Amino acid sequence: MVNNTPTTTTYTVETEFLNLDYSYQGLTPEQISDYAQTKLPANFTKLKQQLIQGEFKNKTENRNVSHVLNRSIHNVVKAGNGKNRFTEIVRSLRSGQWLGATGKPITDVVNIGVGGSDLGPMMGSFALKEFADDNSLHTLHTHFVSSMDGGQLYAVLPIIDPETTLFIIASKSFGTIDTLANVNTVKQWLQPHLTEEQWLSRHVIGVSANNQAMTDFGIPPSQQLSFADSVGGRFSMWSAIGLPIALTIGSNQFSKMLDGAKAMDEHFAEVDDPTQNIPVLLALLGVYNREQRNINNVAILPYDGRLRYLPSYMQQLDMESNGKQATHDNQPLTTPTGPIIWGGYGPNGQHAFFQHLHQGWDTFTADFLAVLHRHAPGFSPAVQAALREQQRLAVSNCLAHRKLMWEGHTSDDARNTYIGNHPTNLLYVDELTPHSFGAIIAAYEHKVFTQGVIWGLNSFDQPGVEKGKTCATDILKVIDGQADTTFDASTDSIIRRM
């Protein structure tokens, strides 16, 4: 049962922006090539081209899929949405020139959004903070509020000042109840300090694909950033939804993130050999593990704290896209599709869930992510040296755990025996930069796309989340005393207690 065979060959794909080592997958490039022949459809190259040109069809929602067209700062908003509005807003807020209604510069920005309108912006703002260009002499604090229960507002409202805070209402549809509920609470909180007119005129930016809803809400046109309906929510961090990232690092650095994604688009589109194409390889290895090894989950394990929000981001990207049981043309699927995505910051996971991974009963695969070098500008030489040593410490731990997970370890003492045989990938970059970060995220997007193509499903809709919304509306009506419907014994008893 224990594999315990150290690898003798390294299988790596190297590009100037991202590297993949799949030596611990137990598959040779020849085997993967053969597998690709059976899995990738004959028109795969054409489908890739369609995606890259923004012409791939989201058939169930009857529109194109166009997030790839956002990989340029000129395209983050829809054509006609005020030339340079995005960069002008970024410049004005970062320089402290954007004044609130009472004449004070904005110091805090709160992004109110959920799902794709929260996870990507939050992940990118956190990961890339140290790359902020210094055109900004003014410090802007960015906060994220997503949860419908108001849990994050409890933490944010006490530390911000209504006169110096700007709210980004980020919602592709501009109709998501979670976001509107948070906005409603914010309006109540603001009332003693600013009139609604003052608030709307200087303290709100809307980011949405629904212009009419932004206008109806009262957001002035110059504060509306609109993006195309054909950009899926979970693919929208490259669009104006990425505003918090741009506010954190500046438009130039944001452009570099877009460039990194574009470089990955080109790699994906142009490399025909599936064993040399990082997203295609990730997709094939994932399908193989799902179908041939019957493994239903992938742990995302970043070994650099800057990537700590990647697992949550990946959950939406992958699970909302490929957690499906029917093809895009409505045929039932007979093989399992997208796996459960989970994970956490690797070094801390070692002190929490890794015991189960090493010696528990469950099968899993994992993507380890490592950043090989990190500079620590702004610190004294002694602190820089200590921080660089910490980076080496993290990488050594990453290498150690993936090695053990694959090879296992046999000991006379059963308690010290590691099972091994867990196939994993190592994605690594020499340095984390806006460019390499953009490339990592785009690689995962194209992996998800490729798997969707292999399974014949539509990765760009999410019909399964809708029923929950209508069901919640029905229950809320009863809780609010506006209806007296009964549901089931358990639900009814909690409602009575409320």
Residues with catalytic annotation? 320, 351, 469
**78 vs 172, beta carbon nearer ligand F6P:** 172
User: Closest distance between ligand F6P and the C-beta of residue 436, in Å?
Assistant: 25
Distance between CA 457 and CA 121 in Å, rounded?
A: 27
Q: Which single residue is written with the structure tokens 């003052």?
A: 198
Please tell me whether residue 184 binds ligand F6P under the rule CB under 6 A.
Answer: no
Q: How far is the CB of 441 from ligand F6P (least distance, A)?
A: 15
Structure-token pair, residue 183 = 């906005």
Report the residue from 70, 87, 107, 176 that binds ligand F6P according to the rule CB under 6 A.
Answer: 176
> 193, 196, 216: which is closest to 204 by C-alpha?
196
The answer to whether the beta carbons of residues 356 and 401 sit under 8 Å apart is no
**Binder of ligand F6P out of 100, 120, 233, 260 (CB under 6 A):** 233
Q: Where are the alpha helices (DSSP H) in 40-106?
A: 44-52, 85-94
> Within its chain, how far is the Cα of 22 from the centroid?
23
The answer to whether 242 contacts ligand F6P (rule: CB under 6 A) is: no
Smallest distance, ligand F6P to C-beta of residue 412, A: 52
Cβ pair 240, 227 in contact under 8 A? yes
422 is an interface residue for ligand F6P by CB under 6 A: no
Residues 42-81 that bind ligand F6P (CB under 6 A): none
Rounded distance, CA 402 to CA 203, Å? 48
Task: Please state the closest distance from residue 468 (CB atom) to ligand F6P, in A.
Answer: 8
433 is a contact residue toward ligand F6P (CB under 6 A) = no
CA distances from 164 to 98, 109, 123 (A): 10, 9, 24
Quick check: 401 and 346 in contact, CB under 8 A?
yes
116 binds ligand F6P (CB under 6 A): yes
Closer of 116 and 344 to ligand F6P (Cβ): 116
CB 440 within 8 A of CB 21: no
Under 8 Å CB-to-CB from 47, ≥6 apart: which residues?
A: 41, 56, 453
Residue 177 makes contact with ligand F6P by CB under 6 A: no
Nearest distance, CB of residue 402 and ligand F6P, angstroms: 31
Q: Which residue has the tokens 């990190």?
A: 374
Identify whether the C-beta of residue 131 lies closer than 8 Å to the C-beta of residue 433. yes
Report the C-alpha gap between 148 and 157 in whole angstroms: 15
Q: CB-wise, 100 or 233, nearer to ligand F6P?
A: 233
- Of the candidate residues 31, 45, 84, 173, the single one contacting ligand F6P (CB under 6 A): 173
**Could you tell me which stretch among 35-43, 88-96, 168-176, 402-410 binds ligand F6P (CB under 6 A)?**
168-176
Nearer to ligand F6P, 232 or 302 (CB): 232
Segment lying near ligand F6P (by CB under 6 A), choices 52-60, 166-174, 387-395, 407-415: 166-174
| Alpha helices per DSSP H over 129-272 | 151-156, 177-190, 196-202, 211-217, 243-249, 251-270
- Residue selected from 171, 365, 421, 424 as contacting ligand F6P according to rule CB under 6 A: 171
Q: Which of residues 476-495 bind ligand F6P (CB under 6 A)?
A: none
Nearest-5° Cα angle at 83, 80 to 85: 110
Span of 13-21, 38-46, 113-121, 336-344 interacting with ligand F6P by CB under 6 A: 113-121
**Looking at 157-165, 167-175, 215-223, 330-338, which segment touches ligand F6P (CB under 6 A)?**
167-175
Nearer to ligand F6P, 23 or 337 (CB): 337
Q: Return the residues of window 312-341 that contact ligand F6P according to CB under 6 A.
A: 320
| Shorter beta-carbon distance to ligand F6P: residue 67 or 234 | 234
Q: What DSSP assignment string belongs to 437-492?
A: HHHHHHHHHHHHHHHHHHHT--TT--GGGHHHHHHHHHHHHHHTTS------HHHH
230 binds ligand F6P per the rule CB under 6 A: no
Does the footprint of ligand F6P cover residue 243 (CB under 6 A)?
no
Nearer to ligand F6P, 99 or 148 (CB): 148
Q: Which is nearer to ligand F6P, 181 or 340 (CB)?
A: 181
Torsion of CA 370, 374, 376, 380, to 10 degrees: 110
The 8-class DSSP code of residue 417 comes to: -
Decide if residue 117 touches ligand F6P (CB under 6 A). yes
172 lies in the binding site for ligand F6P (CB under 6 A)? yes
Q: Give residues 442-471 in contact with ligand F6P (rule: CB under 6 A).
A: 462, 465
The contacts of residue 269 (CB under 8 Å, 6+ apart) are 48, 49, 52
User: Which is nearer to ligand F6P, 176 or 425 (by Cβ)?
Assistant: 176
Interaction between residue 473 and ligand F6P (CB under 6 A): no
Which residues form the interface with ligand F6P (CB under 6 A)? 114-117, 171-173, 176, 179, 233-234, 320, 462, 465
